[in-house]
Structures are given as structure tokens and as C-alpha cells.
Amino acid sequence: MLLDFTTLDRRTAYFWMASTIAPRPVAWVSSQNAAGLVNLAPFSFFQMIAPQPPTLMICPQHNADGSLKHTAHNIRETGEFVVSLVSFPLVQQMNATSFAFGADANEFDAAGVVAAASHVVRPPRVAHAPVSFECRVSSFTLHPAESSTCAIILGEVIAAHVDEAIVGTDGTIDPHKLDLVSRMGADWYGRTRSTDNFTLARPTGWAQ
Ligand SMILES: Cc1cc2nc3c(=O)[nH]c(=O)nc-3n(C[C@H](O)[C@H](O)[C@H](O)COP(=O)(O)O)c2cc1C
């Protein structure tokens, strides 16, 4: 089966890419607009970009009418956001915050998510998240430039909050304790807590 992506509409391209570029971690992004109104929404177009400077990326797609999602709007306005990671016990609340609330809604309140003050940036973090990254925007790009469909947002990580319960006695992070959820295609999710996890050492030489 060959898919000619030059002929696919947005919905079909999304289906094939989002169902197969998986599992994707979920960034639960809190932001604030200039007036101080708090917003919280999940985004799986999310990745680590570099450890130096420590940089991550989120890519909110535009709304169907071409407008920016509240998250992208707020981050462009204030230059700050927090990415909280989503452990399995938080998955229902995370999903609830994906609802298309109005601009005046605070999704922490709407979904009963407990907020905690951040250390450096103004937006609060998710109190019960295993890890939260406080970020300042290092790059905000509308893509493609001529007729944008999404925002590519790079954030420099300024500080992180880590629940010490996920750190093992040897200092490593146990994926079972971390218990993150990941997004796959359609309504499928995965978990870092899985009996199918395995370790694999990197090659140290090349034996012919
Ligand atoms: C697990 C999950 C992942 C999501 N990932 C994305 C994403 O990567 N990009 C996007 O534009 N919307 C994504 N959404 C949908 C947004 O969360 C949704 O549009 C939300 O209402 C945006 O809120 P905002 O307008 O307050 O920013 C995702 C939803 C869920 C449940």
C-alpha cells in the first residue's frame, strides 16, 4: 500500500501520521494570557529538542477556523508556559481539559485539577504530575509561514519539579513508577508501565 501524501486532505494525513507515529508523550500545558487567565490543555505533538540549552517543543494545531488555540495565543502573548507530564491516575482529568472550553474558562477549575504555584514562571503547574517543566519561549513560529496551520513553539526549560516517588534508590527513573500515558491513534493510549518494557545496551564496538 502506497500513500501519496501530496493528494491527502488534512484529516486523512492526520489519521495516517497520528496512528503510526506513536506512542507520543503528552504535554499537559498550562499558560496564562496577559490578563492572568489560566489555561490548561494536552498536546501530543511534543518532544525534547536539546539538553543544552534544555529545550522542548510543542505544536498546537490551529482551530478549524484558522485561529490560534488558547495555549498558542497565551504563550505568544506572555512567553511562558509549563509542561506537566501525565501519569495514569491523571488521565481522565487530562482528557477533560481537551474539551473546547471558551477563552474565559480555567480548565484547572473545570476539570478539578489541583494547581500548584510555579517557581519561576507565572502559569501554575499540575500539582500531582510526576514531573513539571517550567519554560520560557525561545522560539515561536507559525508554520507554514505563507498560510499557517500550526504553531511550532520551542521552550527553554528553566526549572523542573520532580516527584521523588518516581526516583529509584539508584537515582534512575523507573518507568513503572513514572507510569506516564502516551497518545496513539484514534482513542488508543499506551503506558510506560508495561510488562513489555525491556532494556537494551548501546553497542560498544562493531564485531564483523
Ligand atoms: C491526549 C491529547 C493530545 C492532544 N494533542 C494535541 C496536539 O498535539 N495538538 C493540538 O492542536 N491539539 C491536541 N489535542 C487537542 C487539544 O487539547 C484541544 O484542542 C484543546 O481544546 C486545546 O485547548 P486550548 O484552546 O485551550 O489551547 C489533544 C488532545 C488530547 C486529549
Residue 47: phi and psi, rounded to 5, are -155, 160
Q: Are 84 and 125 in contact (CB under 8 A)?
A: yes
Distance, CA 61 to ligand 1 centroid (Å)? Answer: 8
Tell me the three state secondary structure of residue 96.
helix
Q: Is 31 in the pocket of ligand 1 (CB under 6 A)?
A: no
Local confidence pLDDT in tens for the 208 residues of the chain? 999 999 999 999 999 999 999 999 999 999 999 999 999 999 999 999 999 999 999 999 999 999 999 999 999 999 999 999 999 999 999 999 999 999 899 999 999 999 999 999 999 999 999 999 999 999 999 999 999 999 999 999 999 999 999 998 899 999 999 999 999 999 999 999 999 999 999 999 987 6
Tell me the three state secondary structure of residue 95.
helix
Distance, CA 41 to ligand 1 centroid (Å)? Answer: 6
Distance, CA 23 to ligand 1 centroid (Å)? Answer: 16
Q: Are 46 and 25 in contact (CB under 8 A)?
A: yes
CATH 3.40.50.10860 fits 11-191, yes or no: no
Taking CA atoms only, the protein residue closest to ligand 1 atom 20 is 98
